[in-house]
Amino acid sequence: MRLASGHVAVQLEGEELAKIQRDFEGYRKGLVRLAPGGWVLPAPYPKYADKLYNTKFRETDVVIMTYPKCGTTWTQEVVWTMRNNPNLDHPKASAPISVRSPFIDSDMLMAMGKEGSTSLMSEFLKGVVPDPDPNEGIALQLTAHTPDPRTIKTHLPFSLMTPDLLDTTKVIYVARNPKDVVLSFLHHTRFMKNISYVGSLEQFVDYFVNDQLIYGPYWEHLREAWPRRDHPNMHFVFYEDMKADPMAELRKLNHFLGTDLTEEQLEKIVQYTSFEEMKKHEQDALQGKNMATFVNEEVVKKDGGFYRKGEAGGWKDRLTDMQAAKIDAWTKKNTLDLGINFKYSI
């Protein structure tokens, strides 16, 4: 199937799909791979692809673009708060981040799960979208009806979004060390019921470096973003820098976003968006009666939920030397031409 972006989407099949579906029990509907780029996405992606590609953004929008598990939610909360809640007194600040800051390409993920998850998400549309149509993509409708200034999340790479994105809109790209990403992603795929990964860490590392995980190839995602780093509408954030000195990163964001917040406001936002604070809010959400529709509660009890560890460098305790070496070799191969100042070059 040819898409408006010029890519061709082909369903995964044969032994590759059979193996993936044994390890990812939630992928009953399968996956597609796009050419060029090799992008792996949930099977329902083509249904939404052209709408996503043709979405026009506004000058007042900020798009947060990342490969999964790079600290998207943290950055969303920081940016949404800086723009909408600088004095921490917004009456709707405790609403889920996915309602305040829509995840534009999440319809295909919801369509992978049981029907219940879509109807539960439809609840979010009530009061936001005047005449919601669940068939038209909940996240797409939520995005369209979110009042300005919108802070929009996407895991899609540049080539699957409108080509004039940076001409009109500010983009914040968040990157994270792939050795921490792989562990965070492993956890995510285990506790999210619409994925339900049941394989080993060893196999998961192989899926990662073989570019078979959704939204990958990881390096292709970064390689599309990195050359755009000096564009005036583009801002790069590294998870490790946010961890090491959040105040310095918020100052840079303050400049990039033109939010003009004081040092005192920024300090309060650093506190408000710390791992510990954000985790507290998640605990309230996880106790919500509908959470069992989305998450495997046993995994959450044992290993945590969306807020797992919130560390940089945690891979040193979990990956074997062989696994780390495999990721390093793959990193080296993919970063040779990214430039000597690229953070994860080895």
Pairing of strands 8-11, 31-35: antiparallel
* Residue whose tokens read 């052209």: 50
User: From the list 46, 71, 199, 216, which residue makes contact with ligand A3P (rule: CB under 6 A)?
Assistant: 71
307 near ligand A3P, rule: CB under 6 A: yes
User: From the list 308, 323, 327, 330, which residue makes contact with ligand A3P (rule: CB under 6 A)?
Assistant: 308
- Within residues 234-263, the interface with ligand A3P by CB under 6 A covers none
The residue type at 140: L
Query: Is 106:73 a contact under the CB 8 Å cutoff?
Result: no
Whose CA is closest to 269, among 296, 242, 293, 289?
242
Query: Binding marks (x or -) toward ligand A3P, 16..55, rule CB under 6 A?
Result: ----------------------------------------
74 near ligand A3P, rule: CB under 6 A: yes
- Measured between alpha carbons, how far is 25 from 198 in angstroms, rounded to an integer? 7
273 near ligand A3P, rule: CB under 6 A: yes
What minimum distance in Å lies between the beta carbon of 189 and ligand A3P?
11
- Measured between alpha carbons, how far is 306 from 169 in angstroms, rounded to an integer? 28
Span from 22-30, 36-44, 65-73, 135-143 in contact with ligand A3P (CB under 6 A)? 65-73
Pairing of strands 40-42, 31-35: antiparallel
What minimum distance in Å lies between the beta carbon of 197 and ligand A3P?
14
154 near ligand A3P, rule: CB under 6 A: no
- Measured between alpha carbons, how far is 130 from 271 in angstroms, rounded to an integer? 36
- Measured between alpha carbons, how far is 231 from 171 in angstroms, rounded to an integer? 10
72 near ligand A3P, rule: CB under 6 A: yes
User: From the list 275, 297, 338, 343, which residue makes contact with ligand A3P (rule: CB under 6 A)?
Assistant: 275
* Residue whose tokens read 């292709």: 220
Q: Which residues pair with 10 in a beta bridge?
A: 33
What minimum distance in Å lies between the beta carbon of 75 and ligand A3P?
8
Please give the DSSP secondary-structure letter assigned to residue 309.
Answer: -
Site residues, ligand A3P (CB under 6 A)? 66, 68-74, 180, 184, 187, 273-275, 278, 307-310
